[in-house]
Amino acid sequence: MVRGKYLASLKESIVNLDFNAVVETAKEAMDAGVDPQIAITDGIVLGMTIIGEKYETGEYFLSELVVAGEVMKEGMKVITPYIKGGSAKKLGAVVIATVEGDNHDLGKNIVTTLLRVHGFEVVDLGTDVPTDTIINAVKKRKPDILGLSALLTVTMPKMGEAIESLKMADLREKVKVIVGGSPVTSEFAESIGADHCAANALEGVKKCMEWVTPRETR
Ligand code: B12
């Protein structure tokens, strides 16, 4: 099977909510040498995007979203051990959270996994995290980067609230802020004063690496 077929099969197994197929295809893809990060972004994540579309059109219901999340986790379990880190020494520290009111964490967890394999120390505060908890973690951990995730349009303003609170606590200049999640746009990120909006997990991780790597050694 060529690479594209593995990616298509991974995507289909998510869309079909097929636990066995996702595990089998993920194993086959890894055995065939498909890049694990591409398997995640161009296979599994694309499948989840289709799930979202099917939910929007009424073909799938909430129960299918829940199952899709579990199918995705099974695929990730097979693929994650194959991701090779680019750096053995610690690159920098990141505090990451899904903002208050939002329980979506599949995307944030992918970002966390990729950051760790690329050499970042990541403190994952979890989901539905109040702004105060985020600010206290930045105070205590002094990370280089704060990552915020939101999947619901109603919770996106919490990202702006976190940045305002960083300013009030005199912390804004001490930490880069990267935001992500499917509804979050660059325009929105700019409007709340974030440093970057990640198009996807890989691109976000690359940006984080740029921030902590001295220019001459890149
Ligand atoms: C799976 C899912 C769920 C699962 C979540 C499971 C889990 N543990 O996360 C469950 C079933 C629990 C769920 C619940 C709900 N959901 Co939901 N869900 C989805 C779905 C289908 C996929 C989201 C997902 O995981 N995608 C896969 C991941 C990998 O992609 P991602 O999150 O976008 O992350 C990628 C990038 O954005 C980026 N990224 C994300 N965060 C960050 C952060 C940083 C720092 C960086 C660098 C990058 C980054 O990296 C990731 C990989 O590339 C979306 C549809 C969609 N199109 O997004 C709806 C969706 C987000 N849900 C929606 C809704 C409405 C809900 C509910 C309110 C439904 C309900 N009636 O109860 C509840 C909300 C519960 C709550 N309070 O949070 C709506 C939101 C609409 C809106 N405009 O706000 C969507 C868009 C579906 C739809 N089309 O209507 N959901």
* Distance from C-alpha of 56 to C-alpha of 167, rounded to nearest angstrom: 37
Q: What is the pLDDT of residues 176-203, one digit of tens each?
A: 999 999 999 999 999 999 999 999 998 9
* Distance from C-alpha of 140 to C-alpha of 153, rounded to nearest angstrom: 29
- Closest C-alpha residue for ligand 1 atom 12: 66
Of 151, 152, 196, 211, best ligand 1 pocket probe by most atoms within 8 Å of the beta carbon? 151
Q: In what order do the strands lie in the sheet with 120-124?
A: 120-124, 92-98, 145-149, 176-180, 196-197
Q: Is the CB of 184 under 6 A from ligand 1?
A: no
The residue that leads in pLDDT, 171 or 91, is 171
Q: Write down the mean pLDDT value for the chain.
A: 93
> Tokens 């979506």 sit at which residue?
104
| Ligand 1 midpoint to CA 149 (Å) | 10
What tokens does 11 get? 């995507």
Domains, the chain, in order of start with CATH, read: 3-82 (1.10.1240.10), 92-217 (3.40.50.280)
Say what the pTM is: 0.91
Which of 203, 217, 179 lies closest to 114, judged by CA?
A: 203
Question: Rounded mean pLDDT of 131-142?
Answer: 98
Q: What is the pLDDT of residues 64-108, one digit of tens each?
A: 988 999 999 999 999 999 988 665 667 899 999 999 999 999 999
The residue that leads in pLDDT, 4 or 172, is 172
